[in-house]
Amino acid sequence: ASTGTDRRVYIWDLSKIGDEQSKEDGQDGPPELLFIHGGHTSKVSDISWNNNEPWMLTSVAEDNVIQFWQIVLGSLSINRPKVYTWRMKNKLFYMFLTILCTTVSF
């Protein structure tokens, strides 16, 4: 996963680098790009994978909005992941939630 200045989180499958794709599929991006999460309204400053829940991530933006979201591969849900959003006022609490998200199953 990676982020940029465009407020998005990109999910990649690096094993697909260099795979052939049709001209039509090429319009969606390179073959290794699995998903783009565009739910933030400010620059994303950090992301973290959940160690126990497949495809579950936490992302936080510079406006202190934290999102917990999960991609469901192989279904239409990849276009509409589950997203839970909170505005964080305390950065220490954000660090606690990030650790919690990476170690606890939901």
Q: What local confidence, expressed as pLDDT, does residue 8 receive?
A: 92
Residue 14 has pLDDT above 60, yes or no: yes
Q: What local confidence, expressed as pLDDT, does residue 85 receive?
A: 53
Q: What is the pTM of this model?
A: 0.66
- Structural domain for 34, as ranges: 2-103
Give the tens place of pLDDT for each residue, 31-67.
888 888 888 999 999 999 988 888 888 899 998 888 8
Q: State how many domains the chain has.
A: 1
Q: Which of 64-68, 70-74, 89-93, 100-104 has the highest mean pLDDT?
A: 64-68
The pLDDT of 23-35, averaged and rounded, is 81
Q: What local confidence, expressed as pLDDT, does residue 98 receive?
A: 53
E strand map for the chain: 2-3, 9-12, 33-37, 44-49, 56-61, 65-70, 82-87
